Amino acid sequence: MSQRPIVRFAPSPTGRIHIGNARTALLNWLFARREGGRFILRFDDTDRERSREEYARSIEEDLAWLGIKPDRIERQSQRLDRYAAAAEKLKSMGRLYPAYETADELDRRRKRQQARGLPPIYDRAALKLTAEERAALEAQGRKPHWRFKLKPEIVRWDDLVRGPSHIDCASLSDPILAREDGTYLYTLPSVVDDFEMGVTHVIRGEDHVTNTAVQIQIFDALAGGAPRFGHHNLLTDASGEGLSKRTGSLSIASLRESGVEALAAAALAVLTGSADSVRPVASLDDLARSFDLKHLSHGAARFDEAELRALSARTLHILPYAAVAERLKGLGVEGGEAFWLAVRGNLSTLAETAEWRRVVDGAIAPIVEEPAFLAEAAALLPEEPWDQSTWGRWTGKLKEATGRKGRALYHPLRLALTGREAGPELANLLPLIGRAKALDRLRARAA
Ligand code: GLU
């Protein structure tokens, strides 16, 4: 790619984002990241009634949790003069015209068209109004909304995901760009911003395919050319239900609170519904290297929370200490890299480290099933210093002395040393537990 891409994620701050929104954000982020490009977070907040600053903040937080740090943050509510200028330009070109129909009138007209077997396309009656008719309507107190005059042509683009695509604009109604009250629908501001912010690639859900045809015509009118577009398939929940900001299903906030790893949520959000197999990743860069927009499948894809939990565990199992050190500190879990490497393979959530920390240097209740065997084990416990080979040396001697092997040899030791049926490799845990604690536990009496 000769030019470094500039992409944007453009949520409306009308609710918390869900995993489907995160998918859009991540696909943009990874795309930019891989090519050394830039990522703009742009709040579509022209709907003043439904947009809230607290949602904007929570979206930033949710993205940060996923590992996305925007290079630039913009708010459409602060750029209204730019949209007004663009609207004026379109008017002067004869591409934006006033229309006075009420919602009821339009509805009745659509029903009549349908009854006659005609497609429910706006008939452009407003274009036929004379200046006097318009003046008369305005004298009645009617205010116009503004429609973009589409060219009745086939718009073609080479979709970054779906390949060559086209839409026949002759089959679309002229879209409304501005409402009676002077506010804008998302269509025009989005084009103005994409153009003025130098956006090179628009990657968004396939629910926007029709908008793309309309917006390409607006780009052509205002800027003489459009960016590249890519439309990814949408996610549903495990039952096939669409996701919605309103219901809060699969919100990033709820996933985070449930203790799943951000990297697992990111990997599954990107790899679900693609030809690439779902796998744990140790960083977003790792994901960026392997992902390809062309690998996304074309049908809706289910996002399965159970699969996420499993992937989250597999992610923890491969994370290096540096990736979790800060968070372990936040959890009050000490122990450094040796502790992390000893326990990570057994975790389902990071919070479980606290439990293994207690096993290593806290008070536990040893399970003592065979005191005589444990006494013998205690007597053979090597002197310190200990390392990972200590366990092998010790159990080797114990095997010779008692003739035990396999589970009969190891399991009573695990029960006494950890108070648990299962857990991390004892070769790794034993040096962390240390000789004094190990002796205490081996000599503990059964309750
Ligand atoms: N606010 C729009 C959405 O969230 C933005 C669409 C776009 O990316 O252009 O669907």
Angle in degrees, CA 270, 271, 273, rounded to 5: 100
Q: Verify whether ligand 1 is closer than 6 Å to residue 203 (CB atom).
A: no
- Out of 190, 201, 211, mutate this one to test ligand 1's pocket (max ligand atoms within 8 Å of CB): namely 190
Q: Verify whether ligand 1 is closer than 6 Å to residue 204 (CB atom).
A: yes
* Radius of gyration for the alpha carbons in the chain, expressed in angstroms and rounded: 31
Cα–Cα separations (whole angstroms), residue 53 to 50, 75, 235, 328: 10, 10, 26, 31
**Spatial distance between the Cα atoms of 409 and 276, rounded to a whole number of angstroms:** 44
pLDDT at 245: 77
Q: What is the assigned CATH class of domain 1-92+152-169+180-319? A: alpha beta
356, 428, 418, 330: which is closest to 388 by C-alpha?
428
Low-confidence ranges of the chain (pLDDT < 50): 1, 446-447
Distance 214 CA to ligand 1 centre (A): 14
**How many alpha carbons lie under 13 Å from residue 305 in its C-beta half-sphere?**
16
* Residue nearest ligand 1's atom 4 by CA: 11
Q: Verify whether ligand 1 is closer than 6 Å to residue 11 (CB atom).
A: yes
Contact 150, 96 (CB under 8 A): no
Residue spans in the chain of domains classed CATH 1.10.10.350: 371-442
pLDDT at 447: 38
pLDDT at 290: 83
Q: Which atom of ligand 1 is nearest to the CA of 44?
A: 1
Specify the pTM: 0.92
- Out of 44, 161, 200, 246, mutate this one to test ligand 1's pocket (max ligand atoms within 8 Å of CB): namely 44
Exposed / middle / buried, residue 311 (Cβ in 10 Å: 0-12, 13-18, 19+):
buried
CA 282, 285, 286, 288 torsion-angle sign: positive
Contact 416, 444 (CB under 8 A): yes
Which CATH number is 371-442's, of 1.10.10.350, 3.30.1360.170, 3.40.50.300, 3.90.1150.10? 1.10.10.350
**How many alpha carbons lie under 13 Å from residue 220 in its C-beta half-sphere?**
15
pLDDT at 247: 75
Q: 239-273 b/e with 16+ CB inside 10 Å = b? A: eeeebebeeebbbbeebbeeebbbbbbbbbbbbbb
- Out of 186, 187, 209, mutate this one to test ligand 1's pocket (max ligand atoms within 8 Å of CB): namely 186
Residue spans in the chain of domains classed CATH 3.40.50.620: 1-92+152-169+180-319
Distance 259 CA to ligand 1 centre (A): 29
pLDDT digits (tens, 9 = 90+) for 100-150: 999 999 999 999 999 999 999 999 999 999 999 999 999 999 999 999 999
Distance 3 CA to ligand 1 centre (A): 24
pLDDT at 6: 98
Distance 69 CA to ligand 1 centre (A): 19
pLDDT at 445: 64
Distance 207 CA to ligand 1 centre (A): 9
pLDDT at 2: 59
